[in-house]
Amino acid sequence: MKISLEGQVAIVTGASSGIGRAVAEAMGAAGAKVAVNYRSQPEAADEVVATITNAGGEAFAIKADVSDEAEIGALFAETVWRYGAIDIVVANAGMQKDSGAAEMTLDDWRKVIDVNLTGQFLCARAAIRQFRAQGRRDVSKALGKLICMSSVHEVIPWAGHVNYAASKGGVMLMMKTLAQEYAQEGIRVNAIAPGAIRTAINEQETQGEAAKALLKLIPYGRIGVAKDVANAAVWLASDLADYVVGTTITVDGGMTLYPEFRGNG
Ligand code: NAD
Protein backbone atom coordinates (compact mmCIF):
# COMPACT_ATOMS: atom_id res chain seq x y z
CA MET A 1 0.00 0.00 0.00
CA LYS A 2 1.36 3.40 -0.98
CA ILE A 3 0.79 6.32 1.38
CA SER A 4 -0.33 9.42 -0.47
CA LEU A 5 -0.85 12.99 0.71
CA GLU A 6 -1.62 14.07 -2.87
CA GLY A 7 -3.57 17.33 -3.08
CA GLN A 8 -2.97 18.21 0.58
CA VAL A 9 -1.17 21.21 2.03
CA ALA A 10 1.14 20.89 5.04
CA ILE A 11 2.83 23.42 7.31
CA VAL A 12 5.89 22.10 9.13
CA THR A 13 7.44 24.40 11.74
CA GLY A 14 11.16 24.33 12.48
CA ALA A 15 11.64 22.60 9.13
CA SER A 16 15.11 23.87 8.20
CA SER A 17 16.87 21.17 10.24
CA GLY A 18 16.63 17.79 11.92
CA ILE A 19 13.26 16.14 12.38
CA GLY A 20 11.26 19.03 10.86
CA ARG A 21 13.37 18.93 7.74
CA ALA A 22 12.87 15.17 7.34
CA VAL A 23 9.12 15.54 7.95
CA ALA A 24 8.82 18.34 5.36
CA GLU A 25 10.77 16.34 2.77
CA ALA A 26 8.80 13.14 3.44
CA MET A 27 5.46 14.96 3.19
CA GLY A 28 6.62 16.60 -0.04
CA ALA A 29 7.65 13.20 -1.40
CA ALA A 30 4.20 11.84 -0.45
CA GLY A 31 2.57 14.54 -2.61
CA ALA A 32 1.75 17.33 -0.14
CA LYS A 33 2.55 20.96 -0.89
CA VAL A 34 4.72 22.11 1.98
CA ALA A 35 5.25 25.39 3.82
CA VAL A 36 8.80 25.03 5.18
CA ASN A 37 8.92 27.25 8.27
CA TYR A 38 12.25 28.40 9.67
CA ARG A 39 13.34 30.87 12.30
CA SER A 40 16.95 31.68 11.48
CA GLN A 41 18.37 29.49 8.70
CA PRO A 42 17.06 30.75 5.31
CA GLU A 43 19.69 28.90 3.25
CA ALA A 44 18.92 25.59 4.95
CA ALA A 45 15.19 26.16 4.42
CA ASP A 46 15.87 26.88 0.73
CA GLU A 47 17.73 23.56 0.52
CA VAL A 48 14.66 21.74 1.90
CA VAL A 49 12.48 23.49 -0.68
CA ALA A 50 14.95 22.52 -3.42
CA THR A 51 14.94 18.87 -2.32
CA ILE A 52 11.15 18.80 -2.51
CA THR A 53 10.82 20.66 -5.82
CA ASN A 54 13.69 18.74 -7.48
CA ALA A 55 11.74 15.56 -6.73
CA GLY A 56 8.69 17.02 -8.51
CA GLY A 57 6.89 18.42 -5.46
CA GLU A 58 5.87 21.92 -4.37
CA ALA A 59 7.17 23.89 -1.39
CA PHE A 60 8.14 27.35 -0.22
CA ALA A 61 10.23 28.64 2.69
CA ILE A 62 8.79 31.08 5.20
CA LYS A 63 10.32 32.73 8.25
CA ALA A 64 8.32 32.87 11.48
CA ASP A 65 9.07 32.66 15.17
CA VAL A 66 6.48 30.18 16.50
CA SER A 67 6.31 31.99 19.84
CA ASP A 68 5.13 35.19 18.14
CA GLU A 69 1.37 35.40 17.61
CA ALA A 70 1.56 37.83 14.68
CA GLU A 71 4.22 35.79 12.89
CA ILE A 72 2.16 32.60 13.22
CA GLY A 73 -0.79 34.54 11.75
CA ALA A 74 1.39 35.58 8.81
CA LEU A 75 2.67 32.00 8.32
CA PHE A 76 -0.85 30.63 8.02
CA ALA A 77 -2.12 33.54 5.89
CA GLU A 78 0.77 33.24 3.41
CA THR A 79 0.28 29.47 3.12
CA VAL A 80 -3.45 29.87 2.42
CA TRP A 81 -2.72 32.67 -0.06
CA ARG A 82 -0.28 30.45 -1.96
CA TYR A 83 -1.98 27.06 -1.76
CA GLY A 84 -5.63 27.85 -0.99
CA ALA A 85 -6.02 25.71 2.14
CA ILE A 86 -4.17 23.85 4.90
CA ASP A 87 -4.79 20.17 5.69
CA ILE A 88 -1.84 19.18 7.89
CA VAL A 89 0.03 21.16 10.54
CA VAL A 90 3.12 19.69 12.17
CA ALA A 91 4.02 21.78 15.22
CA ASN A 92 7.62 20.64 15.40
CA ALA A 93 9.79 23.63 16.31
CA GLY A 94 11.48 23.19 19.65
CA MET A 95 14.54 24.04 21.67
CA GLN A 96 16.50 23.22 24.83
CA LYS A 97 18.18 25.56 27.32
CA ASP A 98 19.57 23.15 29.88
CA SER A 99 20.72 23.66 33.45
CA GLY A 100 20.01 22.42 36.93
CA ALA A 101 16.70 23.77 38.18
CA ALA A 102 18.41 25.65 41.01
CA GLU A 103 20.64 27.47 38.53
CA MET A 104 18.01 28.03 35.83
CA THR A 105 17.23 31.65 35.01
CA LEU A 106 13.62 32.72 34.64
CA ASP A 107 14.53 33.78 31.14
CA ASP A 108 15.64 30.24 30.18
CA TRP A 109 12.51 28.74 31.76
CA ARG A 110 10.27 31.16 29.85
CA LYS A 111 12.09 30.86 26.53
CA VAL A 112 11.64 27.08 26.36
CA ILE A 113 8.00 27.19 27.49
CA ASP A 114 7.32 30.03 25.01
CA VAL A 115 8.70 28.10 22.03
CA ASN A 116 7.91 24.47 22.90
CA LEU A 117 4.48 24.88 24.52
CA THR A 118 3.02 28.32 23.71
CA GLY A 119 4.43 28.05 20.17
CA GLN A 120 2.57 24.76 19.68
CA PHE A 121 -0.60 26.29 21.13
CA LEU A 122 -0.42 29.21 18.69
CA CYS A 123 0.03 26.78 15.78
CA ALA A 124 -2.80 24.57 17.03
CA ARG A 125 -5.20 27.49 17.44
CA ALA A 126 -4.38 28.85 13.99
CA ALA A 127 -4.79 25.35 12.51
CA ILE A 128 -8.20 24.76 14.11
CA ARG A 129 -9.45 28.18 12.97
CA GLN A 130 -8.26 27.52 9.42
CA PHE A 131 -9.70 23.96 9.28
CA ARG A 132 -13.08 25.32 10.40
CA ALA A 133 -13.01 28.28 8.02
CA GLN A 134 -12.20 26.23 4.92
CA GLY A 135 -14.58 23.35 5.72
CA ARG A 136 -14.47 19.83 4.30
CA ARG A 137 -12.17 19.20 1.35
CA ASP A 138 -12.17 16.10 -0.79
CA VAL A 139 -8.45 15.39 -0.24
CA SER A 140 -8.73 13.73 3.17
CA LYS A 141 -11.31 12.05 5.40
CA ALA A 142 -10.56 14.44 8.28
CA LEU A 143 -11.40 18.14 8.36
CA GLY A 144 -7.75 18.65 9.27
CA LYS A 145 -4.82 17.01 11.01
CA LEU A 146 -2.59 18.47 13.70
CA ILE A 147 0.58 16.67 14.78
CA CYS A 148 2.39 17.94 17.88
CA MET A 149 6.08 17.04 18.16
CA SER A 150 6.41 15.89 21.72
CA SER A 151 9.19 13.75 23.23
CA VAL A 152 9.68 10.69 25.39
CA HIS A 153 10.14 13.40 28.05
CA GLU A 154 6.38 13.92 28.06
CA VAL A 155 6.51 10.88 30.39
CA ILE A 156 10.18 10.39 31.41
CA PRO A 157 11.34 12.95 34.00
CA TRP A 158 14.67 14.53 32.95
CA ALA A 159 16.96 16.00 35.59
CA GLY A 160 18.81 19.05 34.33
CA HIS A 161 16.09 19.81 31.77
CA VAL A 162 13.10 20.88 33.87
CA ASN A 163 11.93 23.53 31.39
CA TYR A 164 12.05 21.08 28.47
CA ALA A 165 10.35 18.19 30.32
CA ALA A 166 7.64 20.57 31.62
CA SER A 167 7.06 21.87 28.08
CA LYS A 168 6.66 18.35 26.64
CA GLY A 169 4.44 17.17 29.50
CA GLY A 170 2.33 20.23 28.71
CA VAL A 171 2.28 19.37 25.02
CA MET A 172 0.88 15.92 25.85
CA LEU A 173 -2.15 17.23 27.76
CA MET A 174 -2.62 20.13 25.36
CA MET A 175 -2.77 17.61 22.51
CA LYS A 176 -5.21 15.30 24.33
CA THR A 177 -7.44 18.21 25.37
CA LEU A 178 -7.55 19.59 21.83
CA ALA A 179 -8.28 16.11 20.47
CA GLN A 180 -11.14 15.66 22.93
CA GLU A 181 -12.49 19.14 22.12
CA TYR A 182 -12.35 18.99 18.31
CA ALA A 183 -12.65 15.32 17.27
CA GLN A 184 -16.41 15.78 16.86
CA GLU A 185 -15.70 18.37 14.17
CA GLY A 186 -13.48 15.91 12.28
CA ILE A 187 -10.15 17.34 13.38
CA ARG A 188 -7.56 14.71 14.28
CA VAL A 189 -5.03 15.87 16.85
CA ASN A 190 -2.14 13.55 17.76
CA ALA A 191 1.47 13.70 18.84
CA ILE A 192 4.73 11.94 18.10
CA ALA A 193 7.19 11.31 20.91
CA PRO A 194 10.67 10.73 19.50
CA GLY A 195 13.31 9.10 21.68
CA ALA A 196 16.97 9.84 20.94
CA ILE A 197 17.17 11.03 17.34
CA ARG A 198 20.53 12.29 16.10
CA THR A 199 20.02 16.01 15.25
CA ALA A 200 21.47 19.43 16.14
CA ILE A 201 19.44 19.58 19.37
CA ASN A 202 21.47 16.74 20.97
CA GLU A 203 24.78 16.75 19.09
CA GLN A 204 26.82 16.16 22.27
CA GLU A 205 24.68 13.35 23.68
CA THR A 206 24.65 11.31 20.43
CA GLN A 207 28.40 11.25 19.63
CA GLY A 208 31.37 9.24 20.97
CA GLU A 209 31.35 7.98 24.58
CA ALA A 210 28.06 9.75 25.31
CA ALA A 211 26.46 7.77 22.49
CA LYS A 212 27.58 4.49 24.13
CA ALA A 213 25.90 5.50 27.39
CA LEU A 214 22.80 6.54 25.49
CA LEU A 215 22.60 3.17 23.70
CA LYS A 216 22.16 1.44 27.07
CA LEU A 217 18.81 3.25 27.28
CA ILE A 218 17.66 2.01 23.84
CA PRO A 219 16.63 -1.66 23.71
CA TYR A 220 16.53 -1.68 19.90
CA GLY A 221 20.25 -0.89 19.87
CA ARG A 222 20.57 2.16 17.65
CA ILE A 223 20.18 5.90 17.91
CA GLY A 224 17.30 7.09 15.78
CA VAL A 225 17.46 9.14 12.60
CA ALA A 226 15.10 11.92 11.59
CA LYS A 227 13.60 9.73 8.88
CA ASP A 228 12.29 7.32 11.56
CA VAL A 229 10.11 10.15 12.85
CA ALA A 230 9.22 11.47 9.39
CA ASN A 231 7.84 8.05 8.38
CA ALA A 232 5.54 8.07 11.41
CA ALA A 233 4.43 11.64 10.67
CA VAL A 234 3.47 10.84 7.07
CA TRP A 235 1.44 7.84 8.21
CA LEU A 236 -0.22 9.81 11.01
CA ALA A 237 -1.20 12.58 8.59
CA SER A 238 -2.61 10.11 6.07
CA ASP A 239 -6.04 8.51 5.88
CA LEU A 240 -4.41 5.19 6.90
CA ALA A 241 -4.43 6.70 10.41
CA ASP A 242 -7.97 8.06 10.11
CA TYR A 243 -9.15 6.38 13.33
CA VAL A 244 -6.12 7.53 15.33
CA VAL A 245 -7.25 10.40 17.55
CA GLY A 246 -5.68 11.96 20.63
CA THR A 247 -2.73 9.65 21.07
CA THR A 248 1.03 9.85 21.16
CA ILE A 249 2.92 7.65 18.71
CA THR A 250 6.21 6.83 20.43
CA VAL A 251 9.17 6.45 18.07
CA ASP A 252 12.01 5.59 20.44
CA GLY A 253 13.53 2.15 19.82
CA GLY A 254 11.99 1.07 23.13
CA MET A 255 13.45 3.83 25.32
CA THR A 256 10.20 4.10 27.29
CA LEU A 257 10.30 0.37 28.20
CA TYR A 258 12.43 0.96 31.35
CA PRO A 259 15.43 -0.94 29.90
CA GLU A 260 17.27 -0.58 33.26
CA PHE A 261 14.97 -3.35 34.47
CA ARG A 262 16.22 -5.91 31.95
CA GLY A 263 17.60 -8.94 33.75
CA ASN A 264 16.62 -7.64 37.21
CA GLY A 265 14.29 -10.31 38.37
P1 NAD B 1 16.71 20.81 15.72
O2 NAD B 1 17.41 21.75 16.62
O3 NAD B 1 17.41 20.34 14.50
O4 NAD B 1 15.32 21.41 15.25
C5 NAD B 1 14.58 22.34 15.95
C6 NAD B 1 14.09 23.36 14.95
O7 NAD B 1 13.21 24.27 15.59
C8 NAD B 1 15.26 24.18 14.35
O9 NAD B 1 15.11 24.23 12.95
C10 NAD B 1 15.05 25.55 14.97
O11 NAD B 1 15.50 26.62 14.14
C12 NAD B 1 13.54 25.56 15.13
N13 NAD B 1 13.10 26.56 16.09
C14 NAD B 1 13.58 26.78 17.35
N15 NAD B 1 12.94 27.82 17.90
C16 NAD B 1 12.06 28.27 16.97
C17 NAD B 1 11.11 29.32 16.94
N18 NAD B 1 10.98 30.15 17.98
N19 NAD B 1 10.37 29.49 15.82
C20 NAD B 1 10.52 28.67 14.75
N21 NAD B 1 11.40 27.67 14.73
C22 NAD B 1 12.17 27.47 15.82
O23 NAD B 1 16.25 19.59 16.64
P24 NAD B 1 15.24 18.39 16.34
O25 NAD B 1 15.76 17.24 17.08
O26 NAD B 1 14.97 18.24 14.89
O27 NAD B 1 13.93 18.89 17.10
C28 NAD B 1 12.65 18.96 16.49
C29 NAD B 1 11.58 18.64 17.50
O30 NAD B 1 11.72 17.29 17.94
C31 NAD B 1 11.65 19.51 18.77
O32 NAD B 1 10.34 19.84 19.19
C33 NAD B 1 12.29 18.57 19.78
O34 NAD B 1 11.93 18.88 21.10
C35 NAD B 1 11.70 17.24 19.34
N36 NAD B 1 12.46 16.07 19.81
C37 NAD B 1 13.71 15.81 19.36
C38 NAD B 1 14.36 14.67 19.84
C39 NAD B 1 15.73 14.29 19.40
O40 NAD B 1 16.29 13.32 19.94
N41 NAD B 1 16.33 14.94 18.42
C42 NAD B 1 13.75 13.85 20.77
C43 NAD B 1 12.47 14.16 21.22
C44 NAD B 1 11.82 15.28 20.73
Ligand 1 pocket, mutate which of 98, 174, 199 (most atoms under 8 A from CB): 199
Question: What's the pLDDT score for residue 6?
Answer: 98
- pLDDT 10s digits, 130-175: 999 999 999 999 999 999 999 999 999 999 999 999 999 999 999 9
Please give the distance, rounded to the nearest whole angstrom, from the Cα atom of residue 16 to the centre of ligand 1: 9
Is the pLDDT score of 187 beyond 90?
yes
Q: Is the pLDDT of residue 126 over 80?
A: yes
Three-state DSSP class for residue 36: strand
DSSP-H helix ranges across the chain: 18-29, 42-54, 69-83, 106-113, 119-134, 162-182, 208-215, 226-237
The answer to whether 190 and 249 have CB atoms below 8 angstroms apart is: yes
Ligand 1 centroid–CA 177 distance in Å is 23
Atom of ligand 1 nearest to the CA of 195: 42
The pLDDT tens digits of the residues spanning 20-77 come to 999 999 999 999 999 999 999 999 999 999 999 999 999 999 999 999 999 999 999 9
35: enclosing H helix or E strand? strand 33-38
Q: What fold does the segment set 9-253 form as a domain? A: Rossmann fold (3.40.50)
What is the Cα–Cα distance from 39 to 139, expressed in whole angstroms?
Answer: 30
* Reported ipTM: 0.99
* Average per-residue pLDDT for the chain: 97
Give the pLDDT band of residue 216 (cuts 50, 70, 90). very high
- Indicate the DSSP class of residue 19: H
Question: Would the pTM of this model clear 0.90, i.e. be above it?
Answer: yes
Residue 214: name the closest of 224, 205, 227 by CA: 205
**Residue 265 pLDDT level (bands cut at 50, 70, 90):** low
Tens digit of pLDDT for each residue in 228-250? 999 999 999 999 999 999 999 99
